Structure 1
Amino acid sequence: MALYIAIHLAFLGWIIINRLFLPALPKQPELSGRPLVSVLVPMRNEERNVEVLIKSLKNSSYDQMEFILLNDQSTDGTQKELERTIEGDSRFTILQGKELPEGWVGKVHACHQLQQAASGDYLLFVDADVRFRPKAIEQSLALMERKKAHLLTGFPAFDVAPFLSKLLVPMLHFVILFHLPIALANYTKFKAATAANGMWMMFERNSYQKIGGHAAVYNSLVEDVHIAREIKAHGYKVVLANITMSVKCRMYDTNTEVWEGFLKNSYAGIGRSPFLAGVLILFYSTFYILPPFLALYGVFNGLYSWMIPYVLTVIQRWYVDMVTNQRWYLSFLIPLQAAAMLGVLVESMRKSFKKQPYSWKGRHYS
């Protein structure tokens, strides 16, 4: 038990140290110039998100921007809501998405069309369910300038409404701060140490075009990570930042959406490696699902030191939630969060083995 406790203490120390290499957006951004930023938003059946998204865009403090939104063959009221909420604002352009070519992933094709219409020196790809503070775009631009980066990306704070969302979505931050050596990610061109999030990706235009843009990853279900690796492969710099104080996202509204969303990315996100999946299942079962059972055994048998591992997992989770602007009380759910993450990984792997398609927004991907 002493060794088990020591390992959990080491995990906590690693997370705290690793976080030091994750830069935050500057509270007071300073820029040497005023480059044009093209904010590009792919939208497929996003009727419920249009109003709040447009409000965030209109309230942005930076004055050199254009907003280009692509209605990707939506079957709901997305187009009508866009026309109503934009209200003739000349900064906005609405594009109509073309038919999805064979072999392309829908979002990747939408982003490809968006960049073709953009004029900016910087291209900021934003998901429709993202909301942000007025200075968020200016802050991102300032951090890119300070770090001399060609791509800046980050994971927002998450609004987690459905129960399954409370379990799975906050694990995105935990996985980054625990498994990704952020110093390697942000200060080297080492491709394996790369994380990115398609909800918020700001590219310097010339480097984006030189790698081939989104067309370079046309068939990827985890296009954000793969395009970030392409940036590094061409000798450019990627910065993963803590954007949670300025950017927020409500990814899903139902448990079904949560399940389908994670299902399509879970196994693909680890390179469809059965070995790596097995390692993760063993690791999280041993260190994050087992501790509450040990704690219960300890309580009923007077072995109170057996409660320490569970307490340390909660502290690890709490620390991550604290630095990423999440709800602190979700930290007590870490065993259920780990179990849910493994559950979706196993199902995603099963579908891959059986060559069953993943579904998302009415489209199917192998």
Structure 2
Amino acid sequence: MLELSLLFCILALVITVLNVFSIITPRNGGQIKQRVSVLVPLRNEEENAVAIVETLAAQENLSDVEFLILNDNSTDKTDDLVTSTARNDSRFKIMQGSPLPDGWLGKPWALEQLSQSARGEMLICIDADVRLSKTAIAAAVDSMDEHSLDFFSAYPSQVARTFGERMIQPLLQWSWLSSVPLAIAKRSSNPSFAVANGQFFAVKKSALMQSGGYSTIKSEVLDDMQMARVLLRNKFKGTVGNGALIAQCHMYSSWGELRNGYAKSLWKGFGGVFGSIIAIALLVLTGIIPIISAATGSPFGWLAFEAVLVSRLISAKITRANLFDSLLHPISSALLIYLIIYSWLMRGRIQWKGRTV
């Protein structure tokens, strides 16, 4: 078992190093001539409503842009705050969401309405808790053009303040940086290589519509990953990238929020029961066995732990995470195992934004 653990830890390090040289990292965007539509679904987001309008209004280098914000039947002050903040900017269009149809989950339905109303050639889906650099959207479109992509997910830097956030958020970024060979992924249409983050998801409208739009994933909790897979199955090209230089996101502010947030999606994130078992096994092999073996004086254990630690440190460096938190990789792994199991136990029973998911 230790030999297998060492093998996977070294493999994770090798893939991480290779990805450092191949990952797409948007920086400063040039002037964009294409018509761009930025889509933002909001439901009970009064704490983010003003800030998301302000970060969008500050965007530069976009010759033809519209900002479409959909109030998804919020029961708080979201609509009032968005409307008042965007009132004097003609680029903004505030939409009122239609009631949720049977068989649809909230976010896919909101994005379906937004995408149908969008006039842009390029659609940029942004979550309410994302904050952008001034040329973030231009930089993402530039990256798509440079690499001839049909879709691109610029994974934001994850703001992590509480202990739970610091243990989980960087680990999830490391999980794909250390397992998906991005040089292959960005040239492939194989859905197995799909990695995406709905916090910042750019897609050509033509590719989205030819793939069936959001109706193809209407009941999917992980709308981002599933949409990436749908696009790849339809032979469109796309990949995930390092968006740490252009965007940041603060998803959760407490352990309870984080646990419920991931409980609604982790059970689906690994492709079912078998995939979840594989994920737990890999977390044990790369996060638990190395430190236990190292503590008993095993040279192989120390080597495995050092390999995975270097991999974590590299990931933290390029994604702007806390380097010190990487040292607590075994704790992070144990907590993620707990969250995967908890997600399976709670599937279909979690309340999120006033809806059951």
User: How would you bin the TM-score normalised by the shorter chain?
Assistant: over 0.9
Identity of aligned residues (%): 27
Give the SS at the match of 1:290. Answer: helix
Separation of aligned partners in 2, 1:22 and 1:104: 34
Structure 1 residues 144 and 4: alpha-carbon distance in aligned structure 2, compared to 1, 3 A threshold:
closer
Task: Give the AA of the match of 1:359.
Answer: Q
State TM-score, norm by structure 2: 0.93
Matched, 1:348 2:343: yes
Task: Give the AA of the match of 1:342.
Answer: I
Matched, 1:17 2:18: yes
* Structure 1 residue 81: Cα displacement: 1.4
**What's the counterpart of residue 280 of structure 2?**
281
**What's the counterpart of residue 311 of structure 2?**
316
- Is contact 2:178–2:311 with CA below 8 Å preserved after alignment? no
Query: 1:70-127, CA deviations, whole angstroms, 9 ceiling, x for partnerless residues?
Result: 1111111111211232242111111111111111010000111111221111111100
Alignment map for 1:156-235 (pairs within 5 Å): 156-235=156-235
**What's the counterpart of residue 57 of structure 1?**
56
**What's the counterpart of residue 66 of structure 1?**
66
Query: 1:113-172, CA deviations, whole angstroms, 9 ceiling, x for partnerless residues?
Result: 111221111111100000010111111111111112111112110111232211221122
- Is contact 1:157–1:324 with CA below 8 Å preserved after alignment? yes
Which runs of 5 or more residues in structure 1 are unaligned?
A: none
- Is contact 2:5–2:290 with CA below 8 Å preserved after alignment? no
- Is contact 1:62–1:135 with CA below 8 Å preserved after alignment? yes
Separation of aligned partners in 2, 1:205 and 1:258: 32
Give the SS at the match of 2:264. Answer: helix
Separation of aligned partners in 2, 1:270 and 1:304: 32
State TM-score, norm by structure 1: 0.91
Query: 1:329-354, CA deviations, whole angstroms, 9 ceiling, x for partnerless residues?
Result: 111121111111111111222334xx
Structure 1 residues 4 and 66: alpha-carbon distance in aligned structure 2, compared to 1, 3 A threshold:
closer
* Structure 1 residue 35: Cα displacement: 1.0
Give the SS at the match of 1:41. Answer: strand
**What's the counterpart of residue 294 of structure 1?**
293
Query: 1:34-89, CA deviations, whole angstroms, 9 ceiling, x for partnerless residues?
Result: 01111110001111112221221111112321111111111111112112322421
- Is contact 2:35–2:121 with CA below 8 Å preserved after alignment? yes
Task: Give the AA of the match of 1:71.
Answer: N
Structure 1 residues 276 and 51: alpha-carbon distance in aligned structure 2, compared to 1, 3 A threshold:
same
- Is contact 1:68–1:95 with CA below 8 Å preserved after alignment? yes
**What's the counterpart of residue 353 of structure 2?**
361
- Is contact 2:29–2:136 with CA below 8 Å preserved after alignment? no
Bigger mean CA deviation after superposition, 232-241 or 333-342:
232-241
Task: Give the AA of the match of 1:334.
Answer: H
**What's the counterpart of residue 253 of structure 1?**
253
Alignment map for 1:315-334 (pairs within 5 Å): 315-334=310-329
Which runs of 5 or more residues in structure 2 are unaligned?
A: none
Matched, 1:239 2:228: no
Separation of aligned partners in 1, 2:52 and 2:136: 13
What value does the CA root-mean-square deviation take over the aligned residues? 2.0
Give the SS at the match of 1:244. Answer: strand
- Is contact 1:186–1:239 with CA below 8 Å preserved after alignment? yes
Asked which structure has the greater RCO (Cα within 8 Å, sep 6+), the reply is 2
Task: Give the AA of the match of 1:315.
Answer: V
Separation of aligned partners in 1, 2:152 and 2:218: 20
Separation of aligned partners in 1, 2:89 and 2:295: 60
- Is contact 1:184–1:190 with CA below 8 Å preserved after alignment? no
- Is contact 2:8–2:285 with CA below 8 Å preserved after alignment? no
- Is contact 1:42–1:69 with CA below 8 Å preserved after alignment? yes
Task: Give the AA of the match of 2:76.
Answer: D
Matched, 1:94 2:94: yes
**What's the counterpart of residue 121 of structure 2?**
121
The count of corresponding residues between Structure 1 and Structure 2 is 355
Give the SS at the match of 1:229. Answer: helix
Separation of aligned partners in 2, 1:58 and 1:9: 45
Separation of aligned partners in 1, 2:3 and 2:179: 23
